[in-house]
A and B are shown apart, each in its own frame.
Chain A
Amino acid sequence: MRMSTRKLLDRAFTWGACLAVGLMALFLVLVLAPILVRGAGAYVFRATTEYRRMMLDQFGRGDEAQIQAERAAVAEARRPLYEALDAFERSLPDLPAARRKELKPAFQEVREGLRLLLGPEPGEPLPALTRRLYGQTRWDRAQEKVRNVLCEETWDYSGEGEGVRVWVPRAPKFAGTALEPLFPLLERDLEGLLRPRLTFYPRFLTDKSLDIHFFGGIGAEVAGTVYLALGAMLIAVPLGIVAAVYFQEYAREGAVITLLRSCVNTLAGVPSVVFGLFGLAFFINTLHVSPGKSVLAGSLTLALLVLPTVIRASEEAIAAVPRAYKEAALALGAGQWRTILTVILPAALPGILTGTVISMGRAAGETAPIIFTAAVSYGALVRPSEVLSQATPALSWNLYNICTEHEAVDEIRHVQYGMAATLVLIVLTLNLTAILIRARVAKRLKG
Chain B
Amino acid sequence: MMVMVAGALAGARTVCAQDKLALDGSTTVGPIAKAFAEYTMRQNQNVNITVSESGSGNGAKALLNGTCDIANLSRDLKESERQAMEQKGVKPVAHVVAYDGLPVIVHPSNRVKGLTLEQVRDIYTGKVTNWKQVGGADLPIVVISRDTNSGTFETFKELVLGKEAKICEGTEYTGSNGGVRQRVQMTKGAIGFAGLGFVDRSVKALEINGVAPSAETVVAKSYPISRELFMFTKGEPAPDGLVAAFIGLSRSEKGREIIEEIGFVPVPEKK
Contact = CB atoms under 8 A, between A and B. Distances in A.
Nearest to A371: B54
B48 A380 contact: yes
A404 B176 contact: yes
Interface string A205-217: 0000011100000
B8 A388 contact: yes
A212 B11 contact: no
Contacts of B68: 292
A211 B258 CA distance: 11
B30 A377 contact: yes
Given A378-B50, A401-B53, A405-B178, A163 B110 contact: yes
B242 interface: no
Interface stretch (A79-87, A126-134, A242-250, A427-435): A126-134
Interface in B183-209: 188, 197-198, 200-202, 204
A409 interface: yes
A376 B30 contact: no
Contact of B109 (A155, A385, A408): A155
B49 A379 contact: yes
A376 to B, nearest CB: 4
A342 B269 CA distance: 75
B34 A212 contact: yes
Interface in A39-75: none
A234 B1 contact: yes
A78 interface: no
Contact of A377 (B10, B35, B53): B53
A129 to B, nearest CB: 5
Contacts of B110: 162-163
Nearest to A397: B52
B67 A284 contact: yes
A160 to B, nearest CB: 8
A390 B52 CA distance: 13
Interface in B7-49: 7-12, 14-15, 20, 22, 24, 27, 30-31, 33-35, 37-39, 41, 48-49
Contacts of A153: 201
A161 B138 CA distance: 7
Given A376-B51, A405-B178, A128 B261 contact: yes
A376 B52 contact: yes
B139 interface: yes
Given A129-B261, A377-B52, A379-B49, A388 B12 contact: yes
Interface in B43-98: 48-54, 62, 65-68
Contacts of B31: 212, 406-407
Contacts of B10: 385
B245 interface: no
Interface string A190-216: 000000000000000000001110000
Contacts of A382: 48
B177 interface: yes
A165 interface: yes
B50 A379 contact: yes
A386 B34 contact: no
A379 B47 CA distance: 11
A157 B111 contact: yes
B147 interface: no
Nearest to A372: B54
A379 B37 CA distance: 8
B185 to A, nearest CB: 9
Contact of B51 (A128, A155, A165, A377): A377
Contact of A391 (B5, B22, B139): B22
Contacts, number: 150
A14 to B, nearest CB: 44
A108 to B, nearest CB: 14
Nearest to A155: B108
Given A132-B261, A386-B11, A405-B27, A380 B49 contact: yes
A291 B66 contact: yes
B202 A389 contact: no
Contacts of B165: none
A376 B50 contact: yes
A446 B261 CA distance: 67
B175 interface: yes
A102 interface: no
A91 interface: no
A222 interface: no
A389 B12 contact: yes
Nearest to B188: A162
Given A127-B261, A211-B38, A379-B49, A404 B179 contact: yes
B177 A405 contact: yes
B53 A162 contact: no
A410 B182 CA distance: 10
Nearest to A210: B38
A97 interface: no
B254 interface: yes
Interface in A152-189: 153, 155, 157, 160-165
A405 B35 contact: no
Contacts of B263: 407
Nearest to B195: A407
Given A153-B201, A378-B50, A380-B49, A404 B257 contact: no
A129 B262 contact: yes
Interface of B: 1, 4-5, 7-12, 14-15, 20, 22, 24, 27, 30-31, 33-35, 37-39, 41, 48-54, 62, 65-68, 108-111, 137-139, 175-179, 181-182, 188, 197-198, 200-202, 204, 254, 257-258, 261-263
